[in-house]
């Protein structure tokens, strides 16, 4: 049995993850971390399952008071990073779906995991289809190096571009390297019209109500284009990846960044 703590139980992802964990025979939810409901239980919160699971607002107190194997963070980058550091220091394996960590933060967490002789996973996207989209885009970039990334998310997402878009660009960069795209004298008449830039690749972020998580990687070549697209239509699309990551984290002895590295 794998004992699990979840941070962010009131969010849409958190609610879906709680339902998934409660439906798995090999998982046991033992505590939750939430900034406003300290001392309550899940059954006392509207919209959450009728479970006698304690809620803490202090991550360190939660980790010290609870016998847990895995910590699942589904919050925001600022608190998610602090949560994850605290979990690792207590020997609890992190499975992090919070995007927006910097490369420096990821490097720091990797060293901390190594020092504490555990393993864990940070995944910009837990949807298996999204991971395949990133891998296929990396394959295509060897042959069609001109590429732009368009990512679309709900209007409550805090970071732009998404962690998935950045990870996709990083994977493409491994096989493509820097390439200046577009006309050499191109000028933006409206600042930001061409999107953000990473090694010559343009990344465009769309934020609208009604969206969940969507990304299209568009390649162009002589007389042709290739589009590789993935859509998460609801948050159930992420649950198989979270489930897989929880199981996999128990066997890891390092912090893995990106689900594509363990599929």
Residue-wise pLDDT for 50-69, tens only, equals 999 999 999 999 999 999 99
126 is in an annotated binding site: yes
Q: Is 153 a catalytic residue?
A: yes
Q: Provide the percentage of residues in the chain whose pLDDT is more than 70.
A: 100
DSSP 44: G
Residue 189 known to bind ligand? no
Mean pLDDT of the chain: 94
List phi, psi (to 5°) of 234.
-155, 170
- Determine the average pLDDT of the residues in 130-144: 96
pLDDT at 99 over 80: no
Residue 246 has pLDDT above 80, yes or no: yes
For the domain spanning 128-232, the CATH number is 3.30.360.10
Q: Which candidate in 15, 83, 152, 153 is catalytic?
A: 153
Phi, psi of 196 (to 5 degrees): -80, 165
Look up residue 54 and give its DSSP letter.
Answer: B
Helix or strand (DSSP H, E) at 120: strand 120-122
Cα(30)–Cα(141) distance, integer angstroms:
44
**Distance of alpha carbon 168 from alpha carbon 262, whole angstroms:** 16
Q: What is the DSSP string of 246-260?
A: HHHHTT-SSEEESGG
Q: Per-residue pLDDT for 247 more than 90?
A: yes
Predicted local confidence at residue 40, as pLDDT: 92
| pLDDT of 182 above 90 | no
Output the pLDDT for position 98: 81
**What are the residue boundaries of the structural domains of the chain, listed by start?**
2-122+236-261, 128-232
- 202: annotated binding-site residue? no
Residue pLDDT, tens place only, 195-235: 999 999 999 999 999 999 999 999 999 999 999 999 999 88
Tokens representing residue 215 in the block: 């990304």
Q: Quote the pLDDT of residue 125.
A: 87
> Which pair of structure tokens corresponds to residue 251?
């066997």
Is 35 marked within a binding site?
yes
CATH 3.30.70.1450 fits 2-122+236-261, yes or no: no
Using one digit for the tens of pLDDT, what is the confidence trace for 7-23?
999 998 999 999 999 99
What are phi and psi for residue 257, nearest 5 degrees? -105, 105
Each residue of 49-77: b (16+ CB within 10 Å) or e? eeeebbbbeebeebbeebebbbbbbbbbb
State the number of CA atoms in the 13 A half-sphere of 168 facing the CB: 34
Given 83, 152, 157, 243, the catalytic residue = 157
Position 119 pLDDT exceeds 80: yes
**Residue 83 annotated as binding site:** no
Q: What pLDDT is stored for residue 180 in this prediction?
A: 85
Q: What confidence score (pLDDT) does residue 101 get?
A: 87
Q: Check if the beta carbon of residue 132 is closer than 8 Å to that of residue 202.
A: no
The residues facing 220 across adjacent strands are 146, 225
- Return the pLDDT at 16: 93
Phi first, then psi, for residue 88 (nearest 5°) are -60, -40
Name the one residue in this structure whose structure tokens are 């995007």.
Answer: 99
């Amino acid at each position: 049995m794998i004992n699990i703590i979840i941070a962010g139980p009131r969010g849409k992802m958190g609610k879906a993850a709680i339902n998934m964990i409660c439906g798995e025979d090999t998982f046991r939810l033992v505590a939750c971390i939430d900034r406003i409901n300290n001392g309550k239980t899940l059954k006392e919160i509207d919209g959450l399952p009728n479970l006698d699971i304690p809620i803490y607002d202090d991550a360190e107190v939660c980790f010290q008071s609870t016998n847990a194997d895995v910590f699942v963070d589904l919050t925001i980058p600022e608190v998610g990073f602090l949560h994850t550091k605290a979990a690792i220091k207590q020997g609890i394996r992190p499975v992090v779906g919070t995007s927006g960590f910097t490369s420096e933060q990821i490097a720091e967490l990797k060293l901390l995991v190594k020092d504490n002789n555990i393993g864990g996973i940070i995944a910009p996207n837990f949807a298996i289809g999204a991971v395949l989209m990133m891998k296929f885009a990396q394959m295509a970039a060897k042959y069609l190096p001109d590429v732009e990334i368009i990512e679309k998310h709900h209007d409550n997402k805090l970071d732009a571009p998404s962690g998935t878009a950045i990870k996709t660009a990083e994977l493409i960069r491994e096989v493509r390297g820097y390439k200046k795209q577009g006309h050499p004298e191109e000028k933006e008449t409206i600042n930001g019209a061409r999107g953000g830039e990473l090694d010559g690749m343009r990344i465009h972020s769309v934020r609208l109500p009604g969206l969940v998580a969507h990304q299209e990687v568009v390649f162009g070549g002589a007389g042709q284009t290739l589009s590789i697209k993935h859509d998460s239509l609801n948050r159930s699309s992420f649950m198989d990846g979270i489930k897989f990551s929880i199981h996999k984290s128990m066997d890891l002895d390092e912090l893995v960044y990106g689900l594509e590295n363990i599929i």
